[in-house]
Structure 1
């Protein structure tokens, strides 16, 4: 729910409209109770016109604000279309969660709604009713209109900066880095747990997914309670971000004591486990540490497509991927273990390995950018940087991808200088794997 409210365009504008209606109803009533004729120093700062002038001001503000709001929505839609077609559809949620966009739309809609609500309270004298002009309310409408003008200028400047690919890549990097730091501990703190992962027996109870979609979250407390209730050990072998199909196993369970489950226990455990797996139609960074790498890889692959042919953007995306991989190499990626009150392991939640994450970041850019020396050079640098931060058990994955890069270089018809440069970069990866980083000659 929190992620849905944060990444949708409508919640903040909807809240602004509700507050505007409340203010449009409440402030005119407060205006009725204030004796402005006894406070000349106050009225000098408030709206001083009659009913016709108040209506003209409010109508002008309402008419202009609805036009500006339509323009803002149009620009937003165009930006979303550009981000989807030019970079990646996975970047849309990054733009839709932008607080600048949400706040600007909320201010425009709130000003329009407030102005219309106040307009209904303006009365001219005649027909048995007294003249009433809510001076404070009209003044606030004028101030909101001025604030909306400044907000429009800021929004246009922010939009011009937001649609730059460097800004989008930075936003993806920041979100992914926050997810990694929130979900993964520093490497070394989970060494003791890594050795305590229980063995998987030959005969297990499959735990099918309850609904199809991307696995976005696992309710750890509910899953642990279900495992304790059934006196079982539970393994969820699908990482957040994986695509689940209803009825297809997403994990397995087996009795802790070795005694077979009763039919009632089996049925209850299967239903409870399925209820702890939350699936959605799209991936989210809530528990998915690989989602940021997926977004960056999509941008790199789209930039390398023949229709766009922008290797510079691909190189920039690989630079961000390298930074995330180096951060992941310093984190504990071993399975997450949930224990009961007695300290016994009850639930094992699988996490992606560094080899899988490296394959996600390198495999597709290498395939689609194999003919571009700049992309191959950045891939070599990525492997070199990761090799410098990796542990001995992580280095075989780096070596495997280095061989794939060398094979891609060997299959190309390159200029001798380009081939020599790439060979030197590949050799520098070997040196980094042994703990040596030789600087380039000046």
Structure 2
């Protein structure tokens, strides 16, 4: 079910496809209802289409021909938006655009109305030579006209929405909201009751379980995998974190028997991991706390590239990074210890920790923006802002390490207009934030 849900929510086609099926069903069924209503002596419907077969054909043909042209325009604008987002900001933003419900809904309305008008058109009949046999599905034609009005509104809404979507602030907000939701969801299930407790050490008899496929680790069917590992009488420790690449033939996990003298069924464990560990050709953020930060860092570094040269966008993106790191500071690690029905640990799932996320967020912006005074100033401010929100010694140590790296780089190559004393002053502000004290300067 999780794979099916990810496939549906991460694709552009499901909602338009559903609209197409509904439209065809209505286009076939509603004229039959029209025929039943018109079979009586008196016409039971008021305020519906009252023209003849020729007028009905003209209206339905105009609706179908115009809407297919508008749908083509909408598809073209969508492709242009995707191309701009990919080249200007980050290719990984395409997932956000494809999942956009406004775009999906507008496509569904336009395609559905087009196919509905086309399907109803086939039921319109002119009178024969004797003057009988004419049929005009009045209710169906009226509904087609109403759907056309809705389609016009959908087109206007789409144009307004795409105008907002092309703004970098909107893209940053969408990534921020998506990443924040992922961090909060993972925090509810992470094994953080004892964040400093070490995992069980792998015994000498631990055996590698090679991967049977390649891709990024995006999901685990945890309950089924724990059940399979328990049935094999083993304990399994995965190697990759969510979002890490997996290569065929390399260790996907290490396994060892749960008791002395127990034989290890490596074939069964390999089959279980192949069945319940989802590998994909692209990363997903559902179980990966780092992916949202990866997107924001991509936007930052792309904005700092010589071809784009937009440090203001980089500074704005780093502000979103700062807030997400503050949310991440509420958690030390997103590792998982999964137990079976008897309470025995069966599956160890590594994940990202706060120092790793901090390093991911700062390394590339520090490298590519280290000589721009606005970017460096924002990096020092980011460290101070996160310093106010950390609570654990390992988090403070990670912040000091990143502060030292930034200070060393800027002392060696000071940003324009700065000197070594100014750099050290900015670095001391991070210490003030970590100590919760008033700035010394």
Question: Is this a same-fold pair by TM over 0.5?
Answer: yes
**Residue in structure 1 matched with residue 182 of structure 2 by the alignment:** 179
Indicate whether 1:428 and 2:434 are aligned. no
How far apart in 2 are the matches of 1:311 and 1:39? 73
Q: Cα deviations across residues 164-219 of structure 1 (Å, max 9, x unaligned)?
A: 111011111111111111112399x8334763731222331102222101111112
Structure-2 separation of matches of 1:299 and 1:404:
22
Q: Identify which of 238, 241, 246 aligns with 1:239.
A: 241
Contact 2:57 2:121 in 1 (8 A): yes
Q: Is the 8 A contact 2:16 2:105 kept in 1?
A: yes
- For residues 334 and 119 of structure 1, the distance between their equivalents in structure 2, rounded to whole angstroms, comes to 57
Query: Is 2:376 the partner of 1:376?
Result: yes
Structure 1 residues 364 and 163: CA distance shift in structure 2, 3 A: same
Conserved in 2, the CA contact under 8 Å of 1:215 and 1:277?
A: yes
Per-residue displacement from partner, 1:274-298 (whole Å, max 9, x unpaired)?
Answer: 3221111100112111110111111
Residues 323 and 151 (structure 1), Cα distance of their counterparts in 2 relative to 1, 3 Å cut: same
How far residue 257 of structure 1 moved from its aligned partner, in angstroms, is 1.1
Note the 1:431-442 alignment, pairs <5 A. 431-438=432-439
- Counterpart of 1:299? 299
* Structure 2 residue 17 is the aligned partner of structure 1 residue 10: no
The 5 Å alignment of 1:11-410 reads 11-35=14-38, 42-43=45-46, 45-126=47-128, 130-185=133-188, 190-192=192-194, 195=197, 197-262=199-264, 265-390=265-390, 391-410=392-411
Q: Which structure 2 residue ranges, 5 or more long, are not aligned? A: none
Cα-to-partner distance string for 1:364-400 (whole Å, 9 max, x where unaligned) = 1111111111111111111111222221121111111
Residues 135-175 of structure 1 show CA distances to partners (whole Å, capped at 9, x for unaligned) of: 00000000011111111111100000011111011111111
Report if the CA contact (8 A) 2:37-2:43 is conserved. Answer: no
Contact 1:377 1:422 in 2 (8 A): no
Q: Which moved more, 1:221-230 or 1:130-139?
A: 221-230
Displacement of 1:35 in angstroms is 3.6
Normalised to the residue count of structure 1, the TM-score between the two structures is: 0.94
Deviation of the 1:260 alpha carbon: 4.8
Q: CA deviation at 1:335?
A: 2.2
Query: How many residues are treated as equivalent by the alignment?
Result: 436
Following TM superposition, the consecutive aligned residue runs of length 4 or more in structure 1 with deviations greater than 6 angstroms are none
Q: Give the CA deviation at 1:17.
A: 0.6
Distance 1:333 1:421, change over 3 A: same
My pick for the range that moved more, 292-301 or 27-36, is 27-36
- RMSD of equivalent CA atoms: 2.0
Shift of 1:413: 4.5
Q: Structure 1 residues 378 and 54, CA, compared in 2 at 3 Å: closer, same or farther? A: same
In structure 1, distance between residues paired with 2:314 and 2:199: 39
